[in-house]
Amino acid sequence: MKPVYTIDDLVSRNALDAGADKPARLAVLGWPVAHSASPGMHQPALDAEKIDARYIRLEVEPGKIPGAFERMRALGFIGCNVTVPHKLAAMENCTAVDPVARAMGAVNTVRFYADATRGFNTDGPGFERAIADDFGIPLADLKTTIVGAGGGAGQGLATQCVLCGTPRLVLANRSFEKLAPMVEKLRKLGTATEIVLLALDDPRLAVRCLESDLIVNTSSVGLKADDSSVLTADCLRPGHLVYDTIYQPAVTPLLAIASSRGCRTANGLTMLLHQGALAFQHWFPGTEPLAAMRGALAIPPSRIS
């Protein structure tokens, strides 16, 4: 068995399953994908449910999603997860797309049927459950600021905030021009949420952050060892809830500063957990994979009552 597979491994069952005791029938697709923690939670869930299947990492070059889907269908794959940079391409190559995924503009979960390829997005719902899990407060009750909102992850989480009726949503991004087309789509989803747009260097950002209950980082700032915090300390106050969608490293510069300011903090591991459990249930309706996945990721018990 390999830590990472490629499209070239999808030529036959013999090539794909050589040396394995179970057939590969699920995968996470990305470029790169070696870092993905998804197999580490999905395989224990498959084993706990006594499902004869293996979950693999599949490295797919940009532009190769159509070919990958075709080969996976031919080999009898049940479905797949999709990560960066393929979420838009996955949506474009599904024959049916769930309305929530369509609103978010991306697909992260695919289910192969005999006559269809269906796309879903569990990132937004997974985020909403993660906030309740980590902080014990519904997302719908929290005035929220999303930093790095112009990317795909930011758009997905912002969409979930609007769908659940977050009272105020502040969207901050380094490239301010990326926010305008996104907010047009968000305002079509509902009118209950007040939406504020700011550039990251706008002097009003600190005030808006201090007025918020929840601060979320969806940018990549914090992934590298020499990264500084995406926000300065004057944006944070005691009692803030601060969530960084990055989970490697577990404590990002933002979370370190937030902790020192008396904030309650959490990283993206719970979002990984909940979006994964929801994806699993798209593939296997009626299953309950959350406990096995939580144990595999060593995540403490939920705050959800």
Catalytic residues: 87
Nearest residue to 88 via CA among 63, 111, 105, 69: 105
Cis before 249? omega within 30 = yes
Nearest residue to 117 via CA among 102, 95, 139: 95
Residue type, position 121, single letter: N
Question: Are 213 and 139 spatial neighbours (Cβ–Cβ below 8 Å)?
Answer: no
3-state secondary structure of 54: strand
- Both structure tokens of 159: 């969409």
- How far is the C-alpha of 184 from the C-alpha of 281, rounded, in Å? 32
- How far is the C-alpha of 90 from the C-alpha of 109, rounded, in Å? 9
Nearest residue to 9 via CA among 72, 89, 93: 72
